[in-house]
Structure 1
Amino acid sequence: MDLPYELLVGLRYTRAKKHNHFISFISLISMLGIALGVAALIVVLSVMNGFQTELRARILAVVSHIQISGASGEMANWQSVAEQSTRHAHVLAAAPYVQAQGMLAFSQAVRGALVRGVLPEQEDRVADFRPHMKDGRLETLTADSFNIVLGSELARALGVMVGDRVTLIAPQGVVTPAGVVPRLKTFTVSALFEVGMYEYDSGLALIHLADAQRLYRLDDRVSGVRLKLDDLFLAPRVARSLAASLDTDAFISDWTRSHANFFRAVQIEKNMMFIILSLIVAVAAFNIVSTLVMAVTDKQADIAILRTLGARPSSIMLVFIVQGALIGFIGLGLGIAGGVALALNVDVVVPFIERLLGTQFLAKEVYYISNLPSELQWRDVTTITGVAFVLALFATIYPSWRAARVNPAAALRYE
């Protein structure tokens, strides 16, 4: 055969003979350990990617990709800003909004809320409220109807349902002979939404843009304009481009800045999980050290014979590197196959385990996300493969170096 003898000998040493089954057993344990570690890494990172994507989708159901607000908190020429913004190649839609603080009262319950005035037909283009409507429709918000749409947690805290009337108290007061009286207006609850983010479900209320302008005395002014892009990951770059091209004084923020701490924390958790689970692969990889050290001790006579036949120390070293690399390669292949298969079928495997054990890992009563989402990213698989294979190769260096230093005369003395 045309294969190098180092490769042939290394492959032959990987197969056990009758007198060295224990070495073969340790090799099998090393393979399974690497496979288990690699599979665990792929599955865990895929689940974390799924959670990250799910949370991002829920946040962006309420928060637009880019938000342009007036420098003073108000914007008079919002039509011009919207028109200039939509000229950008990556901007799909624009919608005006009014945003202010308010207090909602019903019976004896009082809750603070972030009040957002929107145009329902345009809001649908920049946000995804429609799939998250729990009761009623966003289209019930019409001008001068004084309807209001509440988050489910906010409605639960107030004790209201669709059809109830709540009082919205604006912070701007009216000066009367009796003093400053808060501005009050009664709104009818026309719909409820639930996006699965407590921050919004418990603190956001939607009303029509015209009603918000009248309540907060803005006339034709708004707070700003919200934009939707064709690629949400381009938001920082598009925001910088708009800041340079708009001819008005405005503050531009994108979704990565408005929730920077949250997404940074998720990324840090993902990185830490990668490091922690890599230790499993490292432990399994260093089992190869034990396997090869025992193999070197067992094969000292063979090594001595090869040396007397003219084999160089580097060739002896390569023989055992091949043996260790093959153990790592087989374990790596099994781990990748099992991890990818499990990551692509988490939605089937987890419900089966739940039925088998009679329990639910993510109870709907406790968690907003009751199913384990999974998103396999081949970039993660490539990184895991590279790290695991490097660890396996690194584990072969010392035993191979020790094999290369075997003294032929000493090894054959008692043969």
Structure 2
Amino acid sequence: MFRPLPVFIGLRYTGAKRRNHFISFISAMSMAGLVLGVMVLIIVLSVMNGFDRELRQRILGMVPHATITAAYGTMTDWQSIKSKVEAVPGIEAAAPFIDAQGMLTNQGQVKGVMLYGIDPELEQRVSILDEHMESGQLTDLKPGEFGIVLGEILARQLGAGIGDKVTVVLPEASINPAGVFPRLKRFTVTGLFAVGADLDASLAYVNIEDAARFMRISEGVQGLRLQTTDLFAAPRLAWEAAMTLPGRYYVRDWTQTHGRLFQAIQMEKTMIGLLLVLIIAVAAFNIVATLVMVVTDKQSDIAILRTFGATPGMIMRIFMVQGCVIGLIGTGLGVVLGILGALNVASIVGWIESLLGIHFLSPDVYFISYLPSELLWQDVVSIAMSSLLLSFLATLYPAWRASRTQPAEALRYE
């Protein structure tokens, strides 16, 4: 089978045993460096993608993608407004809400809380709250019974459980014949939820009718929570929905409430990726060192090839082939090991935890207790292409030096 001469000789040089074992060692180390760099980069980026996915699904599954609230007063005819909003393409569902900031007290413990009044049936269409109920059900929030659903962390901090009564205090004063008192009401805990994020320590839910009665809202609701098909289109869709409504409304979306968190995650992923690329760059520098030593070791061979008519370009291609083969094998092995590691990182970490008897991600500290991973093929392709490009660039200088070898000088002392 015909092969171009530079490819044939370059492959022979790559597979041949060397007289200088140190060169073989450096060549093996440069290939191992590429394998390690590519593998680690794929695994680490997959883990960061996993954390990003968990945050997106859990936090943005609890908070609304967008909200539309009345500019003045309340939405008295929210049912018709809801129908108009849901008719906008891209908006899956809308649900009414009433919210307020306040405090929860129980057994001498006081905690700040964001209190939401919701319709239990409609809320299931715009939130994952019902999927993460640890105790009780969201439908237990029946109007007139003044039940409340607490986050698991918040309930633990207050020392409250199912059936216990907690006091909700709003930062508003009530004036009666006895004087001025803060507005407060006793609610019965009917359920606990746990999404595994800091939301478990700051959110509480009550029936929307109970919330309206407690906050003295005579009619209507404060606004609508929106669920969109495309998370990143939520700001545009919310404005489009608001423009279809008569009157004035305020629009808020998740980028205003939690956008900075996801920007920080993306920046961290980019910076860690750039730092880990340095591992591949170091391996590429090892390829430079390997080829420089190979060129020095093969001075006589290069001179003989030149006397047989090999051009400088052919000599250059021979050593470029040798360096590219090292990069191709190292990158290929790194990609295979990285994909296997990314797909099994959770089970591998679990096995190490059981072997050592420790827990790397304690559920009391972190919002998830396992190591998530999401393998994105575009990451794999970009990492592999970057590694191959660095490997190719690393061959240019040694190959150029080999092409500059003068036969007479190289064979003078042979």
Q: TM-score, normalised by structure 2?
A: 0.95
Over 3 Å counting, the alpha-carbon distance change for 1:358 and 1:176 in structure 2 is closer
> 1:178 Cα shift?
4.5
Indicate the SS of the match to 1:340. Answer: helix
Q: How far apart, in 2, do the equivalents of 1:340 and 1:257 lie?
A: 35
Over 3 Å counting, the alpha-carbon distance change for 1:315 and 1:242 in structure 2 is farther
Query: Which amino acid is 1:344 matched to?
Result: L
**Hey, what does 1:62 align to over in structure 2?**
62
Matches within 5 A, 1:210-359: 210-359=209-358
**Hey, what does 1:407 align to over in structure 2?**
406
171-180 vs 266-275, greater mean Cα deviation: 171-180
Over 3 Å counting, the alpha-carbon distance change for 1:248 and 1:80 in structure 2 is farther
Please tell me whether the aligned partners of residues 15 and 24 of structure 1 are also in contact (alpha carbons under 8 angstroms).
no
Please tell me whether the aligned partners of residues 172 and 216 of structure 1 are also in contact (alpha carbons under 8 angstroms).
no
**Hey, what does 2:174 align to over in structure 1?**
174
**Hey, what does 1:6 align to over in structure 2?**
6
- Map Cα deviations across residues 392-413 of structure 1 (whole Å, 9 max, x no partner): 1111111111111111211121
Q: How far apart, in 2, do the equivalents of 1:382 and 1:248 lie?
A: 50
Q: How far apart, in 1, do the equivalents of 2:197 and 2:362 lie?
A: 16
Indicate the SS of the match to 2:238. Answer: helix
**Hey, what does 1:364 align to over in structure 2?**
363
Query: Which amino acid is 2:304 matched to?
Result: I
Please tell me whether the aligned partners of residues 11 and 322 of structure 1 are also in contact (alpha carbons under 8 angstroms).
yes
Q: How far apart, in 1, do the equivalents of 2:176 and 2:390 lie?
A: 77
> 1:14 Cα shift?
0.6
- Map Cα deviations across residues 4-46 of structure 1 (whole Å, 9 max, x no partner): 2111111111112352443223222111110111000000110
Query: Which amino acid is 2:376 matched to?
Result: Q
Unmatched 5+ residue regions in structure 1? none
Please tell me whether the aligned partners of residues 168 and 184 of structure 2 are also in contact (alpha carbons under 8 angstroms).
yes
Please tell me whether the aligned partners of residues 42 and 380 of structure 2 are also in contact (alpha carbons under 8 angstroms).
yes
Indicate the SS of the match to 1:367. Answer: coil
Matches within 5 A, 1:83-232: 83-198=83-198, 200-232=199-231
Moved over 6 A (4+): none
- Map Cα deviations across residues 221-260 of structure 1 (whole Å, 9 max, x no partner): 2121011122323323423433443434222222233201
Please tell me whether the aligned partners of residues 300 and 411 of structure 2 are also in contact (alpha carbons under 8 angstroms).
yes
Q: How far apart, in 2, do the equivalents of 1:73 and 1:374 lie?
A: 46
Q: How far apart, in 2, do the equivalents of 1:222 and 1:343 lie?
A: 47
**Hey, what does 1:78 align to over in structure 2?**
78
Q: How far apart, in 1, do the equivalents of 2:395 and 2:65 lie?
A: 50
301-310 vs 240-249, greater mean Cα deviation: 240-249
- Map Cα deviations across residues 156-190 of structure 1 (whole Å, 9 max, x no partner): 22221111112222233233344433222221111
Please tell me whether the aligned partners of residues 16 and 23 of structure 1 are also in contact (alpha carbons under 8 angstroms).
no
Query: Which amino acid is 2:298 matched to?
Result: K
179-188 vs 265-274, greater mean Cα deviation: 179-188
> 1:289 Cα shift?
0.7
Please tell me whether the aligned partners of residues 14 and 24 of structure 1 are also in contact (alpha carbons under 8 angstroms).
no
Please tell me whether the aligned partners of residues 111 and 158 of structure 2 are also in contact (alpha carbons under 8 angstroms).
yes
Please tell me whether the aligned partners of residues 74 and 219 of structure 2 are also in contact (alpha carbons under 8 angstroms).
no
Please tell me whether the aligned partners of residues 16 and 24 of structure 1 are also in contact (alpha carbons under 8 angstroms).
no
> Identity, % of aligned pairs?
52
Q: How far apart, in 2, do the equivalents of 1:192 and 1:306 lie?
A: 79
Indicate the SS of the match to 1:222. Answer: coil
Query: Which amino acid is 1:133 matched to?
Result: M
Over 3 Å counting, the alpha-carbon distance change for 1:70 and 1:158 in structure 2 is same
Q: How far apart, in 1, do the equivalents of 2:242 and 2:75 lie?
A: 15
Q: How far apart, in 1, do the equivalents of 2:107 and 2:357 lie?
A: 43
Q: How far apart, in 1, do the equivalents of 2:11 and 2:318 lie?
A: 8
Please tell me whether the aligned partners of residues 304 and 409 of structure 1 are also in contact (alpha carbons under 8 angstroms).
yes
Please tell me whether the aligned partners of residues 60 and 128 of structure 1 are also in contact (alpha carbons under 8 angstroms).
no
Indicate the SS of the match to 2:368. Answer: coil
Unmatched 5+ residue regions in structure 2? none
Q: How far apart, in 2, do the equivalents of 1:129 and 1:276 lie?
A: 38
- Map Cα deviations across residues 61-118 of structure 1 (whole Å, 9 max, x no partner): 3212222222247433322331111112222211000011222222322222111000
Q: How far apart, in 1, do the equivalents of 2:246 and 2:3 lie?
A: 71
Please tell me whether the aligned partners of residues 30 and 284 of structure 1 are also in contact (alpha carbons under 8 angstroms).
yes
Query: Which amino acid is 1:156 matched to?
Result: R
Q: How far apart, in 1, do the equivalents of 2:378 and 2:76 lie?
A: 46
Please tell me whether the aligned partners of residues 42 and 384 of structure 1 are also in contact (alpha carbons under 8 angstroms).
yes
Over 3 Å counting, the alpha-carbon distance change for 1:19 and 1:150 in structure 2 is same
Please tell me whether the aligned partners of residues 153 and 202 of structure 1 are also in contact (alpha carbons under 8 angstroms).
yes
Q: TM-score, normalised by structure 1?
A: 0.95
Q: How far apart, in 2, do the equivalents of 1:59 and 1:7 lie?
A: 55
